[in-house]
Structures are given as C-alpha cells and as structure tokens.
Amino acid sequence: MTPYIPPSKRASQVIGDSESEEYQRLTWEALRHSINALLNKVNTNNIKNVIPELFSENLIRGRGLFCRYTIKSQLISPQFTPIFAAIVAVVNSKFPEIGNLLVKRVVLQLKNAYNRNDKPRLVAAVKFIAHLVNQRVTHEIVALELITLLLENPSDDSVHVAVEFVKECGSVLQDVCPKSTHAVFDRFRGILHEGEIDKRVQFMIEDLFAVRRASFRGYPAVQPELDLVDLEDQFTHEISLNDEIDPETYLDVFRHGSDFTEGERKYEEIKMSMLGDDLDQDVEDTDTGSCDSDSVDDIEDVTNTNLVELRRTIYLTIMSGAQFEEVGHKLLKIKLEAGEEIELCMMILECCSQEKTYVRLYGLLAQRFCMINKVYQENFEKCFVQQYSMIHRLETNKIRNVASLFAHLLATDALPWHILSYIRLTEEDTTSSSRIFIKFLFQELAEHMGIPLLCQRLSDPSMTHSFQSIFPKDHPRNTRFAILFFSSIGLDGLTYNLREHLRRPI
C-alpha cells in the first residue's frame, strides 16, 4: 500500500518553532479546519455555544477564511441563512472589519451572479443580504438598490426573486424607510397592472401585498433566539451595488509572517479581554438572571481555551505521522478528560472530509480507537447521527469521504450495524445529499465485503429491526422507491427480499 503523505513532512519536529513556515502552515490548516467545522455544525439550538468557540479561534488571522466559509455554507444551505446572519452580526459587533469584508463579498457574489444569470447563486446572495439588513449589518440602501435593479426590467425570474427578497426583509424596510417601501410596492403594483409577466408570478405579487397588509406576520426580521446583539453595539456598513469592490481574496490563503508570534499574543489578549468582559452578555440567555458564581462559570465556558488547544493538538498530531499506527500511538498519549473523546472522533472525521480523495489512514485510525475503547465507538456512532443529519451542508467530495470512512468502520465491525436504523430511505425522508451519502456508503460496503457477504449481513434475522427503515416494507410506494434506488446505483442484488415482499399477496 502506498504510504499516506500528510500535509506536514514531520510536524513533530517543528511544533516548537513558531516562526518556521512549516509550523505556521500547520496552525493555518488547523484554523481553517476549525472555522469550517464550527460553521458546518451551527444551528439554532447550539449557536450560543458555537459563537464563543469561533471567538476562541484567531478570527483576525482567519478573517478571510471566516468570510469564505460562511458564504460557502450559506450557499449550500440557504435555509440556515438567518443563523449565519446572526453569527455575522455578533462577529461584526466585535470585529467590524470582518463584517465589512463579508458584506463586500456577498455584494460581489450578487453582482457576478446577476451578470452571469446564475439564479441559484443570485437567490442565495439575495437571501443573505436580506438577513444582513435585518441584523443591521448592512445598510438598507443596498436593499433598495437591489430591488430597483431587479424590477427595472422585470422578467418572471427577477420579479420572483424581488418578491422573495421583500418578504424576507420587508418588515425592517417598512420600519426604517416607509416612503421608499411604499414606492417599491407602487412599482410592484405597476408590474401587476401591466400584465406582461406569468400568471404564477402575478399571484406571488398579490400574495406579497397580502403579507404586507398582515404587517409581515410570519416573516419576522429576526427570530428571538437569533437576536444576539443590541442595536447600540452593532456596526452598519454602507456599501452600494455601484461600488468598486476588492474581495481581498489573498486573505484566504496561507502566508508566512515574521510577526506570527506577536499576532497570536495580541489576539490572545483581545480574546481574553473580550470574552471575559461582555461577550457572555451577548450570547447567553439572560432571562433567568445570574449571580457572581454563575458569571464565573459563563466566562469559563465562553473562553473554551482548553478545548481549542485540544483540537489544535489533535489536528497537529494527526498531521505529524505517515502511518496510522504511529498517529494512533501519539494520539493515545494525549490526556483527555471524560467527555472529550468526542473531540478526537470529530477531528478524525473532519480531517478525512477535507481530503481531495478518501485516505484510508483515517478509516484505520477510527477503527483502531473503536476497538480500543467502547467510549470511542459510542462517540463515532454519535458522529454518524450528527453528520447524517447535516449531510446537506457538505459538498459531494466531502460526502464521499465521510461515507467511505463509515463504510470502513461498518465493514470491519468497528461500529455496530444498528446505526443504519438512523437512515430512513424514502422519497420524503431523504434529500439529494442524503441519497448521495447512502449511495457511497453502500457502494463502499459492497467494495469492502462483496455483494454475497453484504446481502448475508443485511438478511440477518437478528438485525431486521435495524434495517427496516433503510429497506422499508411499510408501504408499497416506499418499498418500490428503495428498490429503484439500489438498482440505480448498481446494487439491485440487495433488493431480493424487498422484491419478494412486493410479490406476496396482500
């Protein structure tokens, strides 16, 4: 087998030399992985925990990475736009230059998508701008310019996008610039009377007027749980669609610097001052009140310094070896507190997903830890559930790598097969991303085990309960969908029992 060549030739030799290019490159990669992972896992329930973790990373050094991965994640998962906008609002309140950079890049993405007639990117950018306006990160002038641009020469697509945009941020526009908003609706009314657009789009405009009459009920500017920054703490950036914008893409790539140590020290001071002072007031729920001892606990939770250092240590250790035995031996030397095992499992999974192609080292490494201690097996099972629930946030290449790792763990019995019960293979319960994941997972299992052995395992009577959701027999429609799915990916041999079930008389 060709040995795995890590990004670092030998990180263990340079970890002590903070001015060396190799060490700085490794910490840059660790920063990139951490920011990307945090943005990929954030949701409404955990946002108050994720934000302090983000601030524990050097966001000044990684400002380009933060903007790049925030925009990328929002493009992949536009339904989470309010959450990403809330994160940007908090970061912007502490580092306005980062908020300014992100707004400029989103505006530039919008302009490029509009000029290229790229509707998916345009819709994502428009939605992001709407919620940045709602969060007062960007001035409403850009919203009015955007509406004017979309309705200047109305087409079915441009009017459709404009309607959705006004629904998203109309509540704020109605409050801060009522006269301009009235003019916008006059323009919509004119388009409606001209009757040159499709009937479907005309109905959308009529629906928009109904939403306005209801004071945008159902379209809140900011959800209560995402209202994390007081207005007086927010910086609003006035950027026009007509501005010449420099996206500063050089900030997204590694650069070796002689002032690296000093920069890290300064950010550490900023971080401790900021997190220990008032960030907890921004991101902690204050409805229940607090006392002095609670405040101390909040500060300890918010800084997360030890957790960030642990993740960085794990990452550098993984990157420091060429063979999984060597990496595993080094990782075992890291002293983990009870409950921190999940961090090691998540870092192995994150490193695996970031590779251009699947690297077997990660599967062998995960297998080794699952075999060593059941705690790691349980945590990899949690990772499976979490990753599958958020699989729509990953690109196809990352989905392939993640599926390959879990296929390796299943094929080697490092993970129990009952984890497949978390997957329900029906048309309603899957998305294009989750179907891609299932495809790669079972194709890799077939590659590892062979079709006969895989069929034997899936036909095990003692495991019937675990597999009934992925080979459904509850309704003929679901059964046929599963049959068609596995047949389409070249694994129709797995559908024998399903076909027999359909042949049986009701």
For the segment 123-174, what is each residue's pLDDT rounded down to a tens digit? 999 999 999 999 999 999 999 999 999 999 899 999 999 999 999 999 999 9
Same domain, 147 and 131: no
pLDDT of residue 1: 38
52-90 residues labelled b (16+ CB within 10 A) or e (exposed): bbbbbbbbbbbbbbbbbbbbebbbebbebbbbbbbbbbb
Tokens in use for 232? Answer: 């007086």
Asked whether residue 333 is domain-assigned, the answer is no
Mean pLDDT calculated for residue range 266-280: 71
- How many residues would you count in the chain? 506
Rg (CA), the chain: 26
pLDDT digits (tens, 9 = 90+) for 35-80: 988 898 888 888 988 998 899 899 999 999 999 999 999 998 888 9
Q: Which of 221, 225, 183 is nearest to 43 (CA)?
A: 225
- Residue that finishes a domain, picked among 182, 205, 221: 221
Q: Is 17 exposed, middle or buried (0-12, 13-18, 19+ CB in 10 A)?
A: exposed
Is the same domain home to 357 and 486? yes
Does 443 map to a domain?
Answer: yes
Q: What is the mean pLDDT of residues 1-25?
A: 55
Inside any domain, residue 444: yes
For residues 349 and 474, membership in a common domain is answered with yes
Express each pLDDT in 357-402 by its tens digit: 999 999 999 999 999 999 999 999 999 998 998 888 888 999 999 9
Buried b / exposed e over 238-250, threshold 16 CB at 10 Å, is: ebebeeeeebeee
pLDDT value at residue 162: 94
Q: Among the listed ranges 6-15, 179-188, 252-261, which one has the minimum average pLDDT value?
A: 6-15
Q: What is the pLDDT of residues 428-452, one digit of tens each?
A: 999 999 999 999 999 999 999 999 9
- Tell me the pLDDT tens digit for each residue of 178-205: 999 999 999 999 998 888 888 999 999 9
Residue 323 located in a structural domain: no
CB atoms within 10 A of CB 48: 19
Tell me the residue range of the domain where 288 lies. 18-135+247-303
Whether the full predicted model's pTM is greater than 0.75, yes or no, is no
- CATH number of the domain bearing residue 161: 1.25.40.180
In this structure, are 204 and 177 located in the same domain? yes
356 with 449, same domain: the answer is yes
* Residue labelled with tokens 């990475």: 65
If asked whether residues 131 and 176 sit together in one domain, one would say: no
pLDDT for 418: 92
Q: Is the pLDDT of residue 5 over 50?
A: no
Give the model's pLDDT for residue 398. Answer: 92
Q: How confident is the model at residue 336 (pLDDT cuts 50, 70, 90)?
A: confident
Instruction: Report pLDDT for 208.
Output: 93
Q: Is residue 329 part of a domain?
A: no
Of 503 and 454, the one with more pLDDT: 454
8 has pLDDT over 60: no
Domain count, the chain: 3
Query: Within 250-318, where are the H helices?
Result: 260-274, 280-283, 292-303, 305-318
Lowest mean pLDDT among 115-129, 250-264, 360-374: 250-264
Taking residues 110-134, what's their average pLDDT? 93
- Asked if pLDDT for residue 9 goes beyond 50, the answer is no
Is the CA virtual torsion 453, 454, 455, 456 positive or negative? positive
Residues 203 and 260 grouped into a single domain: no
For residues 255 and 200, membership in a common domain is answered with no
Backbone dihedral angles phi then psi of residue 16, each to the nearest 5 degrees = -80, -10
Is 332 within a domain? no
